[in-house]
Chain A
Amino acid sequence: MSSAFANAAAPRISQTLAEAQFRSRSLFRQVCRELPWVVRNYQLQDVTNVAGLRKVVAGEFRKNVQVTDKQMIDLLLFKANAEITNLLGHHTQRHHILTRYVEKGVKVAPTHVQVAGGKNASSFLEGFLQGKMKV
């Protein structure tokens, strides 16, 4: 699983900015390819889905869209590589993913509910449909 990222430990130095940007795009694609595995193995079906996670990951990449220093991009790539390697090796746990990538992600359940008679749904019903657990 983590073979695609096996060489992460050996830092690569991008020769040009274009190479650095190419590397970051290919890393994004590699991460996207692993997301179904992540959802399945970290049992994230009931909190998010592949599309939701992809959106969050893309957001993480876009955060650094203004970076043009190729050495800085290499550093960020190195850190991202380390993160995904940890994740695929199960060194992170489910709650790590939940706090880092899911809570700011998409909502799975639709919030708008039509109640007979045109009334608004109560807070109970909204919570019920969103699966908010009451303890």
Chain B
Amino acid sequence: MSVASMSMWCRASCRASSLSLLVGGSTGPLLGGIHNNALVRTLSSSSASAAATPAAAAAVAPEEPPPVEVFVNGESVQVPKGVSVMQACDAAGVDVPRFCYHQRLSIAGNCRMCLVEVTKSPKPVASCAMPIMPGMQIHTETPLVKKAREGVMEFLLANHPLDCPICDQGGECDLQDMSMAYGSDRGRFVEEKRAVEDKNLGPLVKTVMTRCIHCTRCVRFATEVAGVHDLGVTGRGGSAEIGTYLEKALTSEMSGNVIDLCPVGALTSKPYAFTARSWELRPTESVDATDGIGASIRVDARGHEVMRIVPRLNESVNEEWIGDRGRFSYDGLRRQRLDAPYVRGEKGAPLRKATWKDALEAAAHGLRSTPSTKLMAVAGKLADAESICALKDLMAMYDGQNLQVEGVTPSSDAADVRSSYVFNSTLERIEEADAILLVGTDLRKEAPLLNSRLRRSAVYDCVPVASVGPDVDLTYPKKDLGDSAKAIDDLLSGASAFRAVLDGASKPAIIVGAHVLSRPDAYGVLSKCVQLANDVGCVSGDWNGYNVLHECAGRVAALDLGFVPGPKADVATAPGFVYLMNADDEATLASIPEDAFVVYQGHHGDAGAARANVVLPGAAYTEKGATYVNTEGRVQRTKRAVPPPGSAREDWEVVRALSEVAGLALPYDDVDGLRVRMAEVSPTFASVDSVQQSTIWLNGSTYAASKGSSKASTAPFTSSISNYFQADVIGRSSKTMARCVETRGEMYAKTHDVGSTLGELGEPSAHPLGD
């Protein structure tokens, strides 16, 4: 059986097992056990989404054959036809140990840990690979099974080093746990242990290959999910080894996930190596703010330091993966931090450390002494919704209407209709699309998690994908239609062959990259995209396939809150006072005139702080309970894992304090009051962790009244991210990310010199945590 067909079988069986939960839950015993928990959440969330889309559920339901009855340890359980013995055991709530089996990967069946006894079978069978038969009698607790498990454990441990005390996996190791639960109390091997040379997989994944038990989860993940054929097995039997065939670094943006998949300590995190033990860490369930996907993460901290970031299960957003930037850029949270306010005395003078009082008074003076027509505020890529809302209210008090979102060509049209700037189909349902067009985006850099979903569609369901934009390797086949707006014109007129594919699809989807929003001709291109989406029927029934993909966490919240130029704003007027909220983009800074008074609020001393007259230190996303809205419009909240460094404060508090020092205090003193205000401005903020579907679709005429909507230049589309690892200030401050760029230099040209802004902050401030 080929890898592809096995994977399809795996997907089919996963879908089938969602029904096994429903059936097993009603008739059989309750689900339980360590491994089942993940599965239960997986299944319940997918069944919930099926319920939310009755049409889809109805289309699937008639194909399902009637359930089959099998007996697990004598108890009857009803499961769908074709599922594996292991899934039947899971449905019955019986725990079967496993190393190589993983519900999101194809089935390898090579660890032999999941052996169970089946009546009339002469040998124990590998339950992950054996399909059930009607009336099958499965036994998991017999002496034969116990002996088989002990034997497997003994073989695995024969060559496994006994270095748990110095192993980073210690305390969260499947092999440790299983040898305690299922292993024998003695071994019979007196021969020398096998040793394997360690492989260098780049700056992120550390290998101790002697510990490897050859489950091949990493190989299957790289091949099937990440779509890079970097890892493989060489040799046979005792000389089998996992490795890259030639010595090279992993080339995936999701490579860190192999660390979580590895059941032993063979693949561990290189930056985390020897820094902490799992039981010392304080976990905080939070949300990733380093990209627009908003993956669910767990921030593990010790004292005041973030020690590592790992993914949490969230079927509708990130499944159980996260990208490498979100996972490994946490060391950037300790370097280049703004831990005190800074004020620049006069023009050209260096920034000097100041007290909060002095800094706020300087900023307030700048705000009060500037006429309202020359006030400008920019919501940056890492800004959270609370601070954006507070800043919007602050600017409103001074009648400053020139509000801009970083990376969006300023226009009040940008936030007119919610369906024109969010990922309408949602990340989960994009897999239902049967034809996909990408416009001006490199998904692999902008959203690796979304890219892996699209890869699944393109490779396993053969969904046609075409791209108008940069010609890059997305790890699956795609058709290149050109790189400029002309290609969209061809699709509109029908001159392009892909138009017929889109027309023939029942759920076509268009994904517009964030690059398009930042172009001078943004509204010309967007109106074409909206028109095309309307012409090919992207919006019908409960399906809206017009999607805008944002590469950063702050933008959708800013647009939801209407952080766009007001009716009286003249964006052409040179601003005299600029408030940068986490805005560090070169394009933003280049648009600020020399003599403008700039207040920068943020957490890193990067380009924005270097330009500023007053620097107000804020908190990073691990240091505050803040709201972020991901690209599909899902309102999510982070939690404070560690306190902000030095005298940095939560961002909305800074704006609130500034408003009072300036003389007009904002009417909220706590974050709850502010959140009530946010929900007044945009009702989408009233419910957290859910997507408020935008139902308004103006039949493709969203930008009809927009100035310049008919113009679109022939300038080529690029990606909004040129350097995946250093796309934001946290990544640019991270040593690990710099190492990644160095390792993959030919793929990611270094575009930003981290050290260039160091000298601008006057005396270097020693971070209390040191580095």
Show the binding face of A for B, using Cβ within 8 Å: 43, 45-46, 109-110, 113-117, 121-125, 128-129, 131, 133-134
Q: Which of B304, B649, B768 contacts A128 (CB 8 A)?
A: B649
Task: Return the chain A residue nearest B356 by Cβ.
Answer: A129
Binds A, one of B66-74, B282-290, B520-528, B658-666: B658-666
Query: In the complex, what residue of chain B is closest to A123 when comparing beta carbons?
Result: B669
The residue that A46 contacts in the complex, of B355, B368, B768, with Cβ under 8 A, is: B768
- Report A134 CB to chain B, min CB distance, Å: 7
Across the interface, do B356 and A122 meet the contact criterion of CB distance under 8 Å?
no
Give the contacting residue for B356; candidates A45, A109, A114, A124; CB below 8 A: A109
Q: Are B660 and A109 in contact (CB under 8 A)?
A: no
| A46 in contact with B646 (CB, 8 Å) | yes
Given contacts A116-B364, A124-B660, A125-B657, contact A131 B647 (CB under 8 A): yes
A-B contact count (CB 8 A): 50
User: B663 contacts A115, CB within 8 Å?
Assistant: yes
Residue of A nearest to B643 (CB): A133
29 A-B residue pairings within 8 Å (CB atoms):
A43-B304, A43-B768, A43-B769, A45-B646, A45-B768, A46-B647, A109-B355, A109-B357, A110-B357, A113-B357, A113-B661, A115-B663, A116-B661, A117-B663, A122-B660, A123-B669, A124-B653, A124-B657, A124-B660, A124-B669, A125-B657, A125-B660, A128-B653, A128-B656, A128-B657, A129-B356, A129-B357, A131-B647, A134-B670
Q: Which chain B positions have C-beta within 8 A of A133?
A: 643
Chain B residues, Cβ within 8 Å of A128: 356, 649, 653, 656-657
Which residues from chain A contact B661 at a C-beta distance below 8 Å? 113, 115-116, 125
Residues of B within 8 A of A125 (CB): 657, 660-661
CA distance A45 to B304 in the complex (A): 14
- Report the bound CA distance from A45 to B368 in whole Å: 33
**When each residue 663-677 of chain B gets 1 if its CB lies under 8 Å from chain A and 0 otherwise, what string results?**
101000110000000
Residue of A nearest to B768 (CB): A43
Q: Write the nearest CB–CB distance from A113 to chain B, whole angstroms.
A: 6
Q: In the assembled complex, which residues on chain A have CB atoms less than 8 Å from the CB atom of B660?
A: 115, 121-122, 124-125
B673 nearest CB across to chain A (Å): 11
Q: Please name all residues of chain B whose beta carbon is closer than 8 Å to the beta carbon of A122 when the two chains form the complex.
A: 660, 665, 669
Complex Cα gap A110–B368 (Å): 24
Q: Least Cβ distance of A70 to chain B in Å?
A: 42
Give the distance in Å from the alpha carbon of A124 to the alpha carbon of B661 in the complex. Answer: 11
| A residues in contact with B368, CB < 8 Å | 116
Q: Are A129 and B646 touching (Cβ within 8 A)?
A: no
The CA-CA distance from A5 to B745 in the complex, in Å, is 54
Chain A residues with CB below 8 A from B361, complex form? 114
CB distance from A129 to the nearest CB of B (A): 5
10 A-B pairs with the lowest CB-CB distances in the bound complex, closest first = A116-B663, A128-B657, A124-B669, A43-B768, A125-B660, A117-B663, A129-B356, A125-B657, A128-B653, A45-B768
Residues in chain B near residue A45, CB distance under 8 A: 646, 768
Given contacts A45-B646, A46-B646, contact A116 B665 (CB under 8 A): no
A37 to B657, CA, bound (A): 34
Question: How far is it, in angstroms, between the C-alpha of A46 and the C-alpha of B647 when the chains are bound?
Answer: 7
Residue of B nearest to A45 (CB): B768
Min distance, Cβ A127 to any Cβ of chain B, angstroms? 9
Chain B residue numbers with a CB within 8 Å of A121 are 660
**Nearest Cβ distance between residue A115 and chain B, in whole angstroms?**
6
Q: For the complex, what is the distance from the CA of A117 to the CA of B663, rounded to whole Å? A: 6
A130 to B470, CA, bound (A): 51
Q: List B724-771 residues whose CB lies under 8 Å from chain A.
A: 768-769
* Chain B residue with the shortest CB-CB distance to A118: B663
- B657: chain A residues at CB < 8 Å are 124-125, 128-129
Residues in B whose Cβ lies below 8 Å from that of A117: 663
Provide the bound-state CA to CA distance between A67 and B657, in Å: 49
Residues of A close to B769: CB separation below 8 A: 43
8 A Cβ contacts from B515-556 to A: none
Interface flags, B480-499, vs A, CB<8A=1, else 0: 00000000000000000000
Known contacts A45-B768, A125-B657, A133-B643; 14 additional CB pairs below 8 A are A43-B769, A46-B768, A109-B355, A109-B356, A109-B357, A115-B660, A115-B663, A116-B368, A116-B661, A117-B663, A124-B657, A124-B669, A128-B356, A131-B647
Write out, one digit per residue, whether chain B residues 331-356 have a CB within 8 A of any chain A CB (1) or not (0): 00000000000000000000000011
